[in-house]
Structure 1
Amino acid sequence: MPRGRRGVLETVMGGSAARTSHAQVVHALGKAIVAGEFPVGTTLPGDQELEARFGVSRTVLREAMKTLAAKGLVVPRARIGTRVTPREQWNLFDGDILTWHFAVGVDEDFLLHLSDIRLGFEPHAAALAARHASEADINQMMHLALAMGDPAHTPETLALADLRFHLSVMEASGNPFLRTVGSLIEAALAGVFKLSSPKADRIRIGDVAASHMRIVEEIRRRDEAGARRAMEAVIHVGRSRVTGVAEAP
């Protein structure tokens, strides 16, 4: 998980943490944009109105606007104001934007898109880990997989253990670009977490640990194709939980 900030999964589980004035403005405006309070193509209220709304200085407000612009949500226009950009320009790899989507509510399609992108990244990361992982990396991944079998897990602690395992595989891949997609993995696991029940997770803890240990076993054997298949199987299980809840009466 990114150091020094709450990730998507922790925020979904525990709610929002205390923020600086700058972060509060970014969060409030970002969430409002994602929710459609400020629709695509519209211009945000002027500086004076927003300063009064949030009780912040113009400096804080302008820094917040720069942050939102860097995330692709808005673009400043001279003599026009700050306009909300089309959704296809938003940086959906950004952890804050993913968090705001969960805050306003995500649907099945959103979660399935997340599982699709995981299928694009994580099986290849597992294959690269089979090629590049050190013995220390493999031992760490096995330790994390075994930890997922702890019968004392709650849905919250199991989700965090799951996240730590998957991030360790991305790290062991040795590819620095793959290490940067952690927020996507967090968001996908957060979506599955929101669909979970404590009883269901207690029943399946043993299966979860075993399926993740299979990934590590294939990596230890240096079987790239086997590691890829084992990771795909785990992601498909999460995907089936999303569709299963959506299809339930």
Structure 2
Amino acid sequence: MMTAGPRTTNRSDLIASIAGRRPARNLHAQVMHRLGTAIVGGTYPEDSILPTDAELLQQLRVSRTVLREALKTLAAKGLIEARARVGTRILPRTRWNLFDADVLAWHFETGPSVDFLRSLSEVRIGIELESAALAAQRRSSAEAESLVEAARQMAEATSAEAFARADLAFHRLVAQAAGNPFMASISALVEVALTAMFTISSPVHDREQHAAAAQSHARIAAAIQSGDPDEAREAMRKVISDGFARAAERMGRS
């Protein structure tokens, strides 16, 4: 059976913690995480065949039941496919479910490329601009006030984690104020993207960037509060574009 010893905190756990989810720590989750990050990180390349069950059981030191359940979960996420007399094949990245929170978190844990971040930002623009515009048309007075408060908390954050939590709360509120259940469901992708970006670059340790980020969010809140969908769209576009630029610059220096 698996005797992994003390489990170190990984980016997936940190992302879950900031998002307010309890990180899973059972054997199934540990095996899934180990194999998932190995696949996303390229240890097992696309179209290659995973080691046999016997080899994986020896490496992971878990029961056959735990391994099979982990492999089933990875298959459901589009990462692998079992074939009779061939083995378990790593599927092409085009088959992976990038909207899955675990798959997205594993990309950030293993080191995403700038192109990956750009693609993610483009998807966010497609989702969040309209979410902000709808929020400007549909928000309640209480929701508008909560957005203003969330922006204020971002401005007053003294740690990267506190800023990330306030940032996440702000974008959740925008999705809620949009009043569209589909938009709120898709916003789960935004949650992982925001909290994962925290692991790459946070504006808190740069006074000018911190102030600019908080001000940009306050601009979104003001546009939504005043019922101006066009201004809300443009303000949200700036927030997403600036976040990508910070992350890309940080990765270029590393």
TM range (shorter): 0.7 to 0.9
Residue 240 in 1 paired to residue 222 in 2? no
Residue 179 in 1 paired to residue 195 in 2? no
The superposition leaves residues 101-154 of structure 1 with CA deviations (integer Å, 9 ceiling, x where unpaired) of: 12211221121112111111111100111122222222221211111111x521
Structure 1 stretch displaced more, 183-192 or 74-83 = 183-192
- 2:68 alignment counterpart: 62
> What percent identity do the matched residue pairs reach?
44
Residue 160 in 1 paired to residue 152 in 2? no
- 2:40 alignment counterpart: 34
Distance in 1 (alpha carbons) for counterparts of 2:129 and 2:24: 36
Structure having greater relative contact order (Cα 8 Å, sep ≥ 6):
1
Query: Offset of 1:178 from its aligned partner?
Result: 2.0
- 2:139 alignment counterpart: 133
Query: Offset of 1:208 from its aligned partner?
Result: 2.4
Query: Offset of 1:191 from its aligned partner?
Result: 2.7
Query: Offset of 1:24 from its aligned partner?
Result: 0.7
Distance in 2 (alpha carbons) for counterparts of 1:63 and 1:10: 21
CA contact (8 A) 1:115 1:235 kept: yes
Residue 85 in 1 paired to residue 91 in 2? yes
Residues 1:193 and 1:78: Cα distance change in structure 2 (over 3 Å): closer
Query: Offset of 1:174 from its aligned partner?
Result: 1.6
Select which of 220, 229, 235 maps to 1:224: 229
Distance in 1 (alpha carbons) for counterparts of 2:171 and 2:64: 41
Select which of 75, 78, 87 maps to 1:72: 78
- 1:103 alignment counterpart: 109
The superposition leaves residues 167-201 of structure 1 with CA deviations (integer Å, 9 ceiling, x where unpaired) of: 2111221222222332344324533652346531x
Distance in 2 (alpha carbons) for counterparts of 1:174 and 1:7: 30
Distance in 2 (alpha carbons) for counterparts of 1:46 and 1:176: 43
Distance in 2 (alpha carbons) for counterparts of 1:193 and 1:173: 28
Instruction: Tell me the number of residue pairs that the alignment of Structure 1 and Structure 2 aligns.
Output: 240
Give me the CA root mean square deviation. Answer: 2.5
Distance in 1 (alpha carbons) for counterparts of 2:251 and 2:47: 32
Residue 146 in 1 paired to residue 152 in 2? yes
CA contact (8 A) 1:8 1:96 kept: no
Distance in 1 (alpha carbons) for counterparts of 2:89 and 2:82: 6
- The two structures have a TM-score, normalised by structure 2, of 0.84
The amino acid across from 1:73 in the alignment is: L
CA contact (8 A) 2:203 2:210 kept: no
CA contact (8 A) 1:192 1:241 kept: no
- The two structures have a TM-score, normalised by structure 1, of 0.86
CA contact (8 A) 1:8 1:95 kept: no
- 1:20 alignment counterpart: 26
Residues 1:123 and 1:197: Cα distance change in structure 2 (over 3 Å): closer
CA contact (8 A) 1:12 1:99 kept: no
Distance in 2 (alpha carbons) for counterparts of 1:153 and 1:120: 31
Select which of 39, 58, 64 maps to 1:52: 58
Provide structure 2 residue ranges, at least 5 long, that are not aligned to the other structure. Answer: 1-11
Residues 1:120 and 1:8: Cα distance change in structure 2 (over 3 Å): farther
The superposition leaves residues 1-46 of structure 1 with CA deviations (integer Å, 9 ceiling, x where unpaired) of: xxxxx77635699xx9561100011001101111111111122122
